[in-house]
Amino acid sequence: MNRIDVPATAALLPRAWSSRVLGRVGTAAVKVLRMDGLPLQEERHEHAEALLVLDGRLDLRVAGVAVSLGPGELYVVPAGVPHAVAAGSRGTLVIVEVDETG
């Protein structure tokens, strides 16, 4: 499968913040998820991850600094850097991250 309707795929997800792998590129997984306005606790990852907002708004705290992204904007969270999603983040998000399992 080469062509994917990303917004339609996100709309079919059973709940917000559950993700679906759209595809893999090397060791990276490309995922989509829906944000529902609820915050997510701080986390950090061994590898960098790219966050692309398709629609809506993503508000983050990255190493204590507020970062706000709108449609079409991409942010790369460096490896090991703490980050959390702030309340109010809504819309469709694509995440590209290393997938050790895949």
| Bridge partner residues of 68 (DSSP) | 59
Confidence of residue 100 (pLDDT cuts 50, 70, 90): confident
SS3 content of the chain, % helix, strand, coil (to 5): 5, 55, 40
Whole-number pLDDT of residue 58: 98
The burial class, CB within 10 Å (0-12 / 13-18 / 19+), for 92 is buried
| Bridge partner residues of 31 (DSSP) | 21, 95
| pLDDT of 10 higher than 60 | yes
| pLDDT of 24 higher than 90 | yes
Q: pTM value?
A: 0.92
Coil, strand or helix at 85: strand
> pLDDT, tens digit, for every residue of 62-76?
999 999 999 999 999
Q: Are 4 and 30 in contact (CB under 8 A)?
A: no
| pLDDT of 2 higher than 90 | no
